[in-house]
Amino acid sequence: MGFWTRRNWMTLAAISGFIAVAVGAFAAHGVKDPKAQEWLRTGATYGFMHTMATFACATLMQVGARRARLAPAFFLSGVVIFSGSLYAMALGAPRWLGAITPIGGLLFLTGWLILAWAARGVDPQAG
């Protein structure tokens, strides 16, 4: 199965969650610029949301939705691109970097569609 195991996805999700909380705290207590605060909060919110979605994938895999193993790649790549570009701009990167932010959003949307498809693989008799 290689590197992309459920265990490694959950480890990466936990690290992503840590970063989201740290960035959110930094936005609240360490940044004065309102635009930078907004970018950091938005990135942290979406990062944390998709961290939790990655954990949901692990749960769905446990109940038979094998296709859920495909979604974490989209969720966590989306966090890197969407949240990462917002974090970078808040910390002084050029604003043109915001042009890649929507790519992260598309990755999030793809992950959710995969998760919906995966949920269809859960045995309806199982509960």
Please report, for the chain, the start and end positions of each structural domain, with discontinuous segments joined by +. Answer: 6-121
* Mean pLDDT within 15-37: 97
| pTM across the whole model | 0.92
Give residue 123's pLDDT: 73
76 or 123, higher pLDDT: 76
Dihedral (CA of 7, 13, 16, 17) sign: negative
- Which pLDDT band, with edges at 50, 70 and 90, does 61 fall under? confident
Q: pLDDT of 91-109, one tens digit each?
A: 999 999 999 999 999 999 9
Q: Are 105 and 78 in contact (CB under 8 A)?
A: yes
Q: Which band of pLDDT confidence, cut at 50, 70 and 90, is reported for residue 69?
A: very high
Residue 43 CA to residue 104 CA, distance in Å, equals 11
SS3 114: helix
Backbone dihedral region for residue 123 (phi beyond 0: left; psi -120 to 50: alpha; all else: beta): beta
Average pLDDT estimate for 62-82 = 93
Evaluate if residue 127 carries a pLDDT over 60.
no
Section 28-54 average pLDDT: 97
